[in-house]
Chain A
Amino acid sequence: MSGRVIVITSGKGGVGKTTASANLGVALAGTGASVALVDMDIGLRNLDILMGLENRVVYNLVDVIEERCKLRQALVKDKRLPNLSLLPAAQTRDKSAVSADQMKELCKELSTIFEFVLVDSPAGIEQGFQNAVAGAHEAIVICTPEMSSVRDADRIIGLLEARKDEIEQYRLVVNRYRPNMVQANDMMSVEDVLEILSVELLGVVPEDEDIIVSTNKGEPVSGTDNCKSGLAFRNIARRLRGEDVPIMDFSSQNQSWINRIVNFFNPVRV
């Protein structure tokens, strides 16, 4: 079996790479697939905190690469989902501790064990990014509907295109989307973003306060019901598995409760 190695990247920091990685990991594992999450942000590791696995980390990616332990020993099993594992980054080292070739090797090894290997890339386009991308077959580019983020995503897509031999497919996730701001013309719409980037859209994740709560708790939102960002991540996971799931319709979510009641009685307006 050869699993899919998917790198989650963005160029710009703070757009939700790590959050997306954790949530997609949980969502994919929720569909029954075996998933490995690899934190490539060496020196600034966060993925373990988001997953609530911080206290279980004994060995890390650099230990594996420097052969201080076996891969199996470094993989931390998720608390809730037995088919989800995390390979944490080293906190006490930096990006130069790993080379692209070593990452390729590691991703290859992981893809023989897991159906999905999600690599959480660090921000930037330097060695950390190059390492993260090295072993990947697919890429998910995260961007928020802001000019700076779109600009950086454009740059990243350019770099990914340059690696056509290795990266077969790259798709876009628009994160922290605020439909009501879009409606008021204060934010770029998904269409605007797509027009600039002209790339296949994988999903749109709305801005959600639950994310902050879940980050502090160490329980990704996609593992919990009744939360729209969680649903969005689950939809993306299903799309990754090849299902045809329509992009979430936000138009009904950005209405005040009075409008909803009006719409309820006046369905023609919808």
Chain B
Amino acid sequence: MSCSYAFDHISILYADWLDERFSKQYDPVQRESLHKFAVHTSLFSRRNFCMSKIAIISQPDQGVLIDVSGCSTLKEALEHLSSTLQVSDQFWHGMHVSINLGALAVTADELAKIVALAKGVGIKPVGIYSTNDSTRESLRTSNIPLGSGKPMTLPTVALDSNSIASAEVEDKTVQKSSPFATITMRVVDAMSRRAHKEHATPDPDQLEDMESAHLNENEAPQSQSAFPHIRPKRKVSLDGRPIGANSAEPSERSQPVSKEKLEPKQSLEDTVPPSTDATKEADEIVTAIIEGDCSRSPDKAAADCIDVEATVEAVDNEKPADCPRIDLVAKEPVQAKTKEECNSDNAPGSDVKVMTIQVVDSMIEAQPAQKSIAQASTMADEVITQVDADAQIPASSKSPSSTHDIEDAEDIEFDEEEVEADSVDLETPARGGPTTLYLRQTLRSGQTVSHKGHLVIIGDINPGAEVMADGDITVWGCLRGVAHAGIGGNTNAEIRALKLQPIQIRIAHAIARAPDRPRVSYSQTTGPETARMVDGKIKVVRSRLD
């Protein structure tokens, strides 16, 4: 069983490496609940797990370890911890849970807070690990059992860019011996941070009324794409590519073997979109992943993001300025490019490494159909690019250094010609990732769910709740809160609900609000509706169910 789950800031990993290292089988009950949790939080994405601030690690003989040592402050840790625990409360009951606080300094009062938080979702931590002396002291005073032994940590693949070739070989052998082995990588603190920063940021000034659209199903503009794309297109394509390659097998949701092994109560088919038949072809994919050292501080990580981007910008500048369009089938020498990145990344002051790992996967499934139109392939790799003919995200006319600066982005002018020329959207696959989060619950006021991928919610979204997803948002129920699809800038994202009565709808950079008076009374049914972006405006159309 090898899978990893990306859920916002959380990574969950229970993988072959545990089996291999400990030669232990999971307790079947534990296995099942882990699996259930997996289905609850996110679908399988073997390669695509983002290690960020907090990790949930299944320890075969010691229950589950929640590792918050990646957080630099207690506040951050608590925030992540609460989001982790709350999302999955039904899972935690009866589990042995220990918490690793790492080097965080925690007072007795704050410890009580943590314990209270855990208690709220039915956890009594069996042990808390800490390497900090003052924390250990406060643990002792507040009578909380100290974790025994050393806490398990996620495995790291520390490759330096010179040893790419050997890494490939290594991974190949792993793959051969165990076709479902996961490449476990400590990834992408930097990447996830960057993704976060790139969230589409609608401009409230551009808020227009959605009323007209509701009254007239096919007409009426509601809101204008307020921000130009925050990042220059070319840059996106370049540093988006590695991630895109990473998600080249985006729909590897069902893993037959693991399914059989676990016999999950909740059928996986429920959550697999119909368009994802396994092609069962062995594909070779080069995944280039920006390796971030997890021990560094968030600020530094942010700085590193900028470094990487600056690098890509440099690469960019070497290209003719007047070729903004990316060929559908890019025959660009990716290898060479990667080298360029490596070289510049090795420049002093930057500890971001780019590594290339070759993966053989026999379980690759078809990419999410409608979206991926083009494949750019070279000798050793395959880069899936998503081409979106409708996407008209204008390129930023500002220098890339301003891309983190929302304030600046606001002032960027639209340039029609540039918009025309730059209609290739490579960003979607890069960040969207293949995963679908499937939630069976009603979200109430104050609750948020955000997910890098598609989001399916069986239940209502009440006013005051917020859902955000990189891909589509589908609500089998009534959407009354705020929904933001395509947070990474994917203008193809859609929001659909059985009852679409949102306070606001946001797609990529556009934003539409509900009419000031409710269109229909709450009890009145309107039938399923879909909100999508048409010509840069959000439109609501009644869905046809034939």
B179 to chain A, nearest CB (A): 41
Whether A54 pairs with B503 at a CB distance below 8 angstroms is yes
Report if B513 contacts A (CB, 8 A).
yes
A63 to chain B, nearest CB (A): 10
Whether A92 pairs with B466 at a CB distance below 8 angstroms is yes
Report if A170 contacts B (CB, 8 A).
no
Question: Bound complex: CA of A156 vs CA of B446, how far in Å?
Answer: 28
Whether B503 pairs with A76 at a CB distance below 8 angstroms is no
Known: A58-B203, A91-B446. 6 other contacts (CB 8 A): A44-B446, A54-B503, A55-B503, A56-B513, A69-B201, A79-B516
B residues sitting closer than 8 Å to A (CB atoms) are 201-205, 207, 406-407, 445-448, 463-464, 466, 503-504, 511, 513-516
Name the A residues within 8 Å of B446 (CB-CB). 43-44, 91-92
If A59-B204, A91-B464, A92-B466 touch, whether A52 touches B516 (CB-CB below 8 Å) is yes
Name the A residues within 8 Å of B513 (CB-CB). 55-56
Whether B447 pairs with A56 at a CB distance below 8 angstroms is no
Name the B residues within 8 Å of A57 (CB-CB). 503-504
- Looking at chain B's contact residues, is the secondary structure mostly helix, strand, loop, or mixed? loop
A57 to chain B, nearest CB (A): 8
CB < 8 Å neighbour of A58 from B407, B447, B463, B511: B511
Residue in chain A with minimal CB distance to B203: A73
Q: Which 3 A-B pairs have the closest CB atoms?
A: A58-B204, A55-B513, A55-B514
If A73-B204, A91-B445, A92-B466 touch, whether A55 touches B516 (CB-CB below 8 Å) is yes
Whether B204 pairs with A54 at a CB distance below 8 angstroms is no
Report if A68 contacts B (CB, 8 A).
yes
Residue in chain B with minimal CB distance to A70: B407
Whether A58 pairs with B448 at a CB distance below 8 angstroms is no
A24 to chain B, nearest CB (A): 22
Report if A202 contacts B (CB, 8 A).
no
Whether B445 pairs with A69 at a CB distance below 8 angstroms is no
A94 to chain B, nearest CB (A): 9
Whether A68 pairs with B406 at a CB distance below 8 angstroms is yes
Name the A residues within 8 Å of B448 (CB-CB). 92
Report if A142 contacts B (CB, 8 A).
no
Q: Which of A82-123 contact B (CB under 8 A)?
A: 91-92
A100 to chain B, nearest CB (A): 16
Report if A37 contacts B (CB, 8 A).
no
Proximity bits, A64-75, B CB within 8 Å = 1, else 0: 000011100110
B39 to chain A, nearest CB (A): 25
Question: Bound complex: CA of A76 vs CA of B204, how far in Å?
Answer: 8
Whether B406 pairs with A69 at a CB distance below 8 angstroms is yes
Residue in chain A with minimal CB distance to B482: A57
Name the B residues within 8 Å of A92 (CB-CB). 446-448, 466
A42 to chain B, nearest CB (A): 10
Residue in chain A with minimal CB distance to B445: A91
Question: Bound complex: CA of A43 vs CA of B504, how far in Å?
Answer: 18
Name the A residues within 8 Å of B407 (CB-CB). 70
Residue in chain A with minimal CB distance to B75: A96
B59 to chain A, nearest CB (A): 32
Whether A58 pairs with B466 at a CB distance below 8 angstroms is no
Whether A58 pairs with B504 at a CB distance below 8 angstroms is yes
Whether A58 pairs with B202 at a CB distance below 8 angstroms is yes
Residue in chain A with minimal CB distance to B463: A54
Name the B residues within 8 Å of A43 (CB-CB). 446
Name the A residues within 8 Å of B205 (CB-CB). 73
Q: Which of A226-245 contact B (CB under 8 A)?
A: none
Residue in chain B with minimal CB distance to A58: B204
Q: List 7 A-B contacts (CB under 8 A).
A: A54-B503, A56-B207, A56-B513, A58-B511, A73-B205, A91-B464, A92-B448
Name the A residues within 8 Å of B207 (CB-CB). 56, 58
Interface centre among A70, A76, A79, A91 (most CB of B within 10 A): A91
